[in-house]
C-alpha cells in the first residue's frame, strides 16, 4: 500500500468509499507522522484517543453507506477554535488550561460531516503575527528549507501550525483563520492552498476573537479541490453569529475544472512594489499567462488606495483587539496573578499572561480609541477602509471577475530574522493580503512556483463577495499549470 | 504624533497591563514606530467619506427577546481560577 499520508483528501475519500483502507488505518498513519514530526512543533496538543474513536465511528458509518462528505478524513484544528473537552489556548499563557464546555460552529460542522480530529495546531498568540513566532508554545518549523541549508525557516503566520502540518503530510487538511493574511501568507510559505472566504461566509462563533470585523475562518489544504471540499463543510449560516450570512452554501467542488474562458482578470498596478524580488514579478507574469492560456482575459486595473490598507489595518485591528481582549481579566477563566486590589489583579494577570506582541497591540488599540485620539486615528482609518472597499467595487463594476496578485512579497525567512528591531518590518508580510480583509472579500493563495533557493511562492486571487466558486475554478487552472509541491523530508 | 513616557504609562493603565519603569522606553519606541507607520493616513482625503461600519451590505439580524439558554452555571464557572459555589472570587472591591 502507498503511504496513506501522501494522498490528497479527494484521493483518500475515494479510497475510503472503495474500502481500499479504513479511516482507522488512515488516522493511524497520520498519528505516526505527527509523532515523528514533533520537531516541527506544529501540534500543541495531540488527541490520538479521540481521533481513533472518531475514526471507528466513521468506519461504521462508511460500512453502512451512511457517510458524510468528510467521513473518516483526519484533520488538524487551529488552537483558536473552541473544542469541547479539549484544551483551547489561542497559544496564549493567559488562557492557561482553558477547556471549553462548547464546540465552535465551524468545527461542529466538520464533525457533523464525519471528519476526525487529530489534535490542536500551533498559531501566533491570539493570531497576532506573521511568522508563528509569538506562540506561547514556541515557534513552528517550516517543512521547507533553502536548498543546501539546514536553517529552519518560519511557516508564516498566524496559521503556521496549520500550514506546516498540511505541508508536512501530518493531516489531510486544517482549519485556519485569517484577519490580515493569516491563512494565505502561511499557505504561500509552505506550498499549500489556503482560502479566506467572504466575511460572513463562516460563523465566527466559538473562535477566539481577535478583530471581529476582519476575522474569518477557512481551510488550508493540499490541493484546490481539497480546499473546496473543506470549505463546503465549514461554511454556512449560524444564528449564533449575527454577521453570518443566510446564503445557501454551494457545492464548491463543482467549480473545479469549470472553464474560465472569457473571464476578466484584473492585474492591479499598485501591487507592483519598488524593490519587489524579480522572481515574484516573474511568477506573477507566469500566472497571468496561465490564465490567458486557459481562455481568460487579463486587464490592468487600478486600486489607488492599496498603500493605505496596511496602516489602516494597524489601527482597526488593534482597536478591535483591545476591546475583544478586555475579557481576559483573571477572574472568569485562565491565568490569574494575585494583586492587593482588583485593579492590581487585572494588571498583573494581563502583564504576565499576554506576550510582547499582544501587549503592544492592545496598548496601541487602547491609545487610538482613547478620548481625544478616536477621530484622528480610528474614525479616519474606518473612512480609509470605505475607500479601499470602493476601489474593489469600482474594479468589479468594470466587469472584472477576479484579481490576480502575488500572495507575499517574499518567500519564507528564518526564525528570528524579521521584526526584532521594528515591528513594522514583520507587518509588511501582509501587504498583498490585508486589503482583502479590509474589504471583506474572498481571497485564495495557490502554490505557483519556487524561488532561486528552492522555496515555494504563491499567487493570490481575489474575488467578488460570495463568489468563492470563481476562485476555485481559477485556482485549479494555476494548480494544473504549476503542479503541486511537496517538501523533502528532513525531520 | 508620538507618545512620551507619561502617555505610555497612562495607556498601560487604561489597558490594565502592569508595566515596569524599565519597560517604558522600549514600549515607547515600539508604539512610536507604529504611530509613525500609520501617520501616512493623514495624506488621504476623507472629506465626505462615511466611516465603514459593516463590510457586508446586510441588516443586522435581531434575536427574539426570549430566554433560550441558561441553567449552565457549572459550565460557566468550570474554568474560573477561584470560585465559591457558583460565584467568582475576587479581592475585596467594596470597603
Of A243, A308, A330, Cβ closest to residue B41: A308
Chain B partners within 8 Å of A336 (Cβ): 81-82
Kindly indicate the confidence band of residue A1, based on its pLDDT and cuts at 50, 70 and 90: very low
Does the annotation mark A182 as catalytic? yes
DSSP A41-56: --EEEE-HHHHHHHHH
Which grid coordinates are listed for B31?
Answer: 508604539
Kindly indicate the confidence band of residue B22, based on its pLDDT and cuts at 50, 70 and 90: very high
- Nearest by Cα to A185 from A252, A132, A145, A230: A132
Chain B partners within 8 Å of A99 (Cβ): 78-79
CA distance A253 to chain B (A): 25
Task: Verify whether the Cβ–Cβ distance A370 to B41 is below 8 Å.
Answer: no
**Left if phi > 0, otherwise alpha if psi is -120 to 50, otherwise beta: which for A236?**
left
Kindly indicate the confidence band of residue B31, based on its pLDDT and cuts at 50, 70 and 90: very high
Stated as kind and residue range, the H or E segment containing A36 is helix A23-36
Of B39, B51, B55, Cβ closest to residue A439: B55
Beta bridge partners of residue A462, listed in sequence order: A403, A443
Q: A43 — phi, psi (to 5°)?
A: -95, 135
- Nearest by Cα to A242 from A105, A112, A108, A107: A105
Q: Is the omega angle on the peptide bond into residue A256 within 30 degrees of 0, that is, cis?
A: no
Q: What is the mean pLDDT of residues B38-64?
A: 90
Cβ neighbours of residue A421 closer than 8 Å, sequence gap 6 or more: none
C-beta separation of A428 from A409 below 8 A:
yes
What Å distances lie between residue A227 and A348, A476, B87, CA to CA? 42, 11, 45
What Å distances lie between residue A468 and A133, A162, A197, A224, A472, CA to CA? 30, 21, 7, 12, 6
Give the mutation candidate from A363, A381, A391, A427 for the B interface (greatest B CB count, under 10 A). Answer: A363
Q: A399 — phi, psi (to 5°)?
A: 95, 10
DSSP A378-408: IIHHHHHHHHHHHHHHHHHHTT--EEEEES-
Chain B partners within 8 Å of A363 (Cβ): 8, 11-12, 15, 17, 27, 31
CA distance A103 to chain B (A): 13
Chain A partners within 8 Å of B33 (Cβ): 422-424
Q: Which residue of A has its CA nearest to B34?
A: A424
Cβ neighbours of residue A73 closer than 8 Å, sequence gap 6 or more: A9, A12, A13, A16, A23, A26, A114, A115, A116, A172, A173
Chain A interface includes B37 (CB < 8 A): yes
Of B52, B61, B90, Cβ closest to residue A342: B90
Chain A partners within 8 Å of B7 (Cβ): 367
C-beta separation of A205 from A472 below 8 A:
no
Task: Verify whether the Cβ–Cβ distance B38 to A334 is below 8 Å.
Answer: no
Which grid coordinates are listed for B2?
Answer: 508620538
- Nearest by Cα to A303 from A473, A436, A196, A457: A436
Give the mutation candidate from A367, A379, A386 for the B interface (greatest B CB count, under 10 A). Answer: A367
DSSP A321-385: HHHHGGG--SSSSS-----SSHHHHHHHHHHHHS-HHHHHHHHHHHHHHSTTTTIIIIIHHHHHH
Q: What is the mean pLDDT of residues A248-277?
A: 95
| CA separation for the pair A37, A141 (Å, rounded) | 10
Give pLDDT tens digits for B7-16: 999 999 999 9
Kindly indicate the confidence band of residue B65, based on its pLDDT and cuts at 50, 70 and 90: very high
Which grid coordinates are listed for A364?
Answer: 496601541
Q: What is the mean pLDDT of residues A214-220?
A: 98
Q: Which residue of A has its CA nearest to B31?
A: A364
CA distance A362 to chain B (A): 7
Catalytic member of A92, A135, A158, A223: A158
Q: What is the mean pLDDT of residues A196-209?
A: 98
Q: Of 2.30.30, 1.10.20, 1.10.150, 1.20.120, which CATH number belongs to B5-43?
A: 1.10.20
Asked whether residue A485 carries a pLDDT value surpassing 60, the answer given is yes
Burial of A73 (0-12, 13-18, 19+ CB in 10 A): buried
Give the mutation candidate from B1, B69, B81 for the A interface (greatest A CB count, under 10 A). Answer: B81
C-beta separation of A163 from A186 below 8 A:
yes
* Residue A321 CA from chain centroid, whole number: 18
Asked whether residue A441 carries a pLDDT value surpassing 80, the answer given is yes
Task: Verify whether the Cβ–Cβ distance B81 to A199 is below 8 Å.
Answer: no
State the complex-level ipTM.
Answer: 0.96
Chain A interface includes B64 (CB < 8 A): no
pLDDT at residue A2, as a whole number: 61
pLDDT at residue A481, as a whole number: 98
Chain A interface includes B48 (CB < 8 A): no
Q: Which of A60-64, A259-263, A271-275 has the lowest mean pLDDT?
A: A271-275
Asked whether residue A483 carries a pLDDT value surpassing 60, the answer given is yes
Task: Verify whether the Cβ–Cβ distance B61 to A239 is below 8 Å.
Answer: yes
Task: Verify whether the Cβ–Cβ distance A333 to B81 is below 8 Å.
Answer: yes
Give the mutation candidate from A366, A377, A389 for the B interface (greatest B CB count, under 10 A). Answer: A366
Which segments of A129-189 are extended strands (E)?
173-178
Task: Verify whether the Cβ–Cβ distance A308 to B61 is below 8 Å.
Answer: no
Give pLDDT tens digits for A371-398: 999 999 999 999 999 999 999 999 999 9
Amino acid at each position: 500500500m502507498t503511504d496513506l499520508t501522501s494522498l490528497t483528501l479527494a484521493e483518500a475519500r475515494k479510497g475510503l468509499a472503495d474500502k481500499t483502507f479504513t479511516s482507522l488505518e488512515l488516522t493511524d498513519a497520520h498519528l505516526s507522522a505527527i509523532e515523528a514530526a514533533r520537531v516541527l512543533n506544529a501540534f500543541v496538543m495531540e488527541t490520538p484517543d479521540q481521533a481513533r474513536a472518531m475514526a471507528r465511528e466513521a468506519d461504521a458509518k462508511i460500512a453502512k453507506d451512511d457517510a458524510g462528505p468528510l467521513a473518516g478524513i483526519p484533520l488538524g484544528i487551529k488552537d483558536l477554535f473552541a473544542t469541547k473537552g479539549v484544551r483551547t489556548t489561542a497559544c496564549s499563557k493567559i488562557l492557561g488550561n482553558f477547556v471549553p464546555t462548547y464546540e465552535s460552529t465551524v468545527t461542529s460542522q466538520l464533525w457533523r460531516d464525519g471528519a476526525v480530529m487529530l489534535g490542536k495546531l500551533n498559531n501566533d498568540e491570539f493570531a497576532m503575527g506573521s511568522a508563528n513566532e509569538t506562540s506561547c508554545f514556541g515557534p513552528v518549523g517550516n517543512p521547507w528549507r533553502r536548498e543546501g541549508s539546514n536553517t529552519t525557516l518560519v511557516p508564516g503566520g498566524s496559521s503556521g501550525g496549520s500550514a506546516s502540518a498540511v505541508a508536512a503530510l501530518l493531516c489531510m487538511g486544517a482549519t485556519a483563520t485569517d484577519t490580515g493574511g493569516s491563512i494565505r501568507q502561511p499557505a504561500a510559505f509552505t506550498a499549500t492552498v489556503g482560502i479566506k472566504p467572504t466575511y460572513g461566509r463562516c460563523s465566527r462563533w466559538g473562535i477566539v476573537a481577535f478583530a471581529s470585523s476582519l476575522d474569518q475562518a477557512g481551510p488550508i489544504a493540499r490541493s484546490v479541490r481539497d480546499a473546496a471540499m473543506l470549505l463546503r463543510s465549514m461554511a454556512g449560516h449560524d444564528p449564533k453569529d449575527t454577521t453570518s450570512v443566510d446564503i445557501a452554501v454551494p457545492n464548491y467542488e463543482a467549480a473545479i475544472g469549470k472553464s474560465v474562458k472569457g473571464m476578466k482578470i484584473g492585474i492591479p498596478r499598485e501591487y507592483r512594489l519598488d524593490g519587489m524580488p524579480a522572481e515574484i514579478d516573474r511568477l506573477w507574469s507566469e500566472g497571468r499567462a496561465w490564465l490567458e492560456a486557459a481562455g481568460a482575459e487579463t486587464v490592468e486595473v487600478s486600486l489607488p488606495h492599496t498603500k493605505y490598507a496596511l496602516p489602516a489595518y494597524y489601527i482597526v485591528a488593534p482597536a478591535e483587539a483591545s476591546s475583544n481582549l478586555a475579557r481576559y481579566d483573571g477572574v472568569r477563566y485562565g491565568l490569574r496573578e494575585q494583586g492587593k486590589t482588583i485593579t492590581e489583579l487585572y494588571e498583573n494577570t494581563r502583564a504576565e499572561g499576554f506576550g510582547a506582541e499582544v501587549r503592544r497591540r492592545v496598548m496601541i488599540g487602547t491609545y487610538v480609541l482613547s478620548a481625544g485620539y478616536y477621530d484622528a486615528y480610528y474614525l479616519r482609518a474606518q473612512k480609509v477602509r470605505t475607500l479601499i472597499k470602493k476601489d474593489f467595487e469600482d474594479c468589479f463594476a468594470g466587469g472584472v471577475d477576479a484579481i490576480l496578485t502575488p500572495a507575499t512579497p517574499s518567500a519564507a525567512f528564518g526564525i528570528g530574522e524579521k521584526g526584532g528591531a521594528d515591528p513594522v518590518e514583520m507587518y509588511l508580510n501582509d501587504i498583498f493580503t490585508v486589503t482583502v480583509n479590509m474589504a471583506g472579500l474572498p481571497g485564495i493563495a495557490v502554490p505557483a512556483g519556487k524561488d532561486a533557493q528552492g522555496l515555494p511562492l504563491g499567487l493570490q486571487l481575489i474575488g467578488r463577495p460570495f463568489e468563492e466558486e470563481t476562485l476555485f475554478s481559477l485556482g485549479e487552472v494555476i494548480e494544473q499549470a504549476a503542479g503541486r509541491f511537496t517538501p523533502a523530508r528532513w525531520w | 504624533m508620538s507618545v512620551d513616557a507619561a502617555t505610555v504609562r497612562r495607556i498601560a493603565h487604561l489597558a490594565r497591563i502592569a508595566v515596569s519603569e524599565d519597560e517604558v522606553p522600549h514600549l515607547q519606541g515600539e508604539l512610536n514606530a507604529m504611530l509613525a507607520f500609520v501617520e501616512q493616513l493623514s495624506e488621504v482625503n476623507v472629506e465626505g467619506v462615511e466611516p465603514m461600519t459593516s463590510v457586508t451590505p446586510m441588516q443586522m439580524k435581531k434575536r427574539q427577546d426570549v430566554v433560550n439558554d441558561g441553567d449552565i452555571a457549572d459550565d460557566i464557572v468550570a474554568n474560573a481560577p477561584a470560585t465559591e459555589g457558583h460565584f467568582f472570587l475576587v479581592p475585596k472591591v467594596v470597603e
